[in-house]
């Protein structure tokens, strides 16, 4: 059985969401999002930097959320949640699948550090403001692409799990303005999915 090493409020939520969408059985090792768990010797044997998610599948152990999503879909997805390689939507699917880590998550990480994780006396308002501007520019094309669509490529796909999770985090941090109506509606649709609710409420 698949075993997922997980901590709340992290990218590991993407993997729970995927496993739930695919209806796969899995075991969950839920850890605190705290150095006492993530930086423990036991967990560093799974991930050298003490991060999550990590997925165990028999003799296979793999980390990086995007890699795990691709692995699970290739091994257990039965062709679901992604367009065929020769489908017209496939290039756009790939684009949005990778857009989250390339464009959206870097400024979100900085915003988290300078608004939540660091003590107030170590936060840098200029760094925070720059990250907020970068995030605003990064999410605007997504809002435009969602015009007239329920999901990123039309039908729900793994690109929504990857990028949608990042946009949910951005919205929860108050970084999605009300004038991005397509994006706001999209995040609400994701939040209403039962598999997402399971993942986010763990």
Rounded distance between C-alpha atoms, residue 89 and residue 156, angstroms = 12
* pLDDT band at residue 69 under the 50/70/90 scheme: very high
Q: What is the CA radius of gyration of the chain?
A: 17
- Tell me the mean pLDDT in the region 71-77: 97
Instruction: Report CA-CA distances (Å) from 5 to 70, 106, 168, 198.
Output: 17, 23, 21, 16
Report pLDDT for 175: 95
Report pLDDT for 40: 96
Identical topology for domains 2-76 and 90-193 = no
Report pLDDT for 60: 98
Tokens of 192: 């209403």
Which CATH code of 3.20.20.70, 3.40.50.2020, 1.20.1050.10, 3.40.50.620 fits the domain covering 90-193?
A: 1.20.1050.10
User: What top-level class would CATH report for the domain 2-76?
Assistant: alpha beta
Tokens of 179: 């004038």
Domain locations along the chain? 2-76, 90-193
- Tell me the mean pLDDT in the region 56-65: 98
* Average pLDDT along the chain: 97
- Express each pLDDT in 82-140 by its tens digit: 999 999 999 999 999 999 999 999 999 999 999 999 999 999 999 999 999 999 999 99
- Tell me the mean pLDDT in the region 169-176: 96
Report pLDDT for 144: 98
Determine whether 201 is exposed, middle or buried from the number of CB atoms within 10 Å of its CB (0-12, 13-18, 19+).
Answer: exposed
* pLDDT band at residue 200 under the 50/70/90 scheme: very high
pLDDT over 70 percentage in the chain: 100
Report pLDDT for 141: 98
Rounded distance between C-alpha atoms, residue 18 and residue 72, angstroms = 8
- Express each pLDDT in 9-26 by its tens digit: 999 999 999 999 999 999
- Express each pLDDT in 156-172 by its tens digit: 999 999 999 999 999 99
Report pLDDT for 179: 96
* pLDDT band at residue 143 under the 50/70/90 scheme: very high
């Amino acid at each position: 059985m698949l075993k997922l090493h997980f901590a709340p409020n992290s990218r590991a939520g993407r993997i729970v969401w995927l496993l739930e969408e695919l209806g796969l059985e899995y075991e969950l090792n839920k850890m605190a999002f705290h150095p006492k768990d993530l930086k423990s010797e036991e967990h560093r044997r799974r991930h050298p930097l003490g991060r999550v998610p990590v997925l165990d599948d028999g003799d296979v152990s793999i980390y990086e959320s995007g890699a795990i999503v691709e692995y699970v879909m290739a091994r257990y997805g039965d062709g679901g949640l992604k367009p065929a390689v020769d489908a017209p939507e496939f290039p756009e699917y790939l684009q949005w699948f990778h857009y989250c880590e390339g464009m959206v998550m870097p400024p979100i990480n900085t915003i988290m550090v300078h608004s939540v994780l660091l003590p107030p006396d170590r936060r840098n308002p200029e760094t925070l403001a720059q990250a907020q501007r970068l995030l605003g520019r990064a999410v605007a094309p997504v809002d435009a692409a969602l015009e007239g669509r329920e999901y990123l490529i039309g039908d729900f796909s793994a690109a929504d799990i990857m990028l949608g999770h990042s946009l949910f985090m951005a919205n929860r941090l108050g970084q999605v303005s009300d004038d991005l109506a397509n994006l706001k509606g999209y995040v609400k649709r994701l939040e209403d999915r039962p598999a997402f609710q399971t993942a986010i409420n763990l």
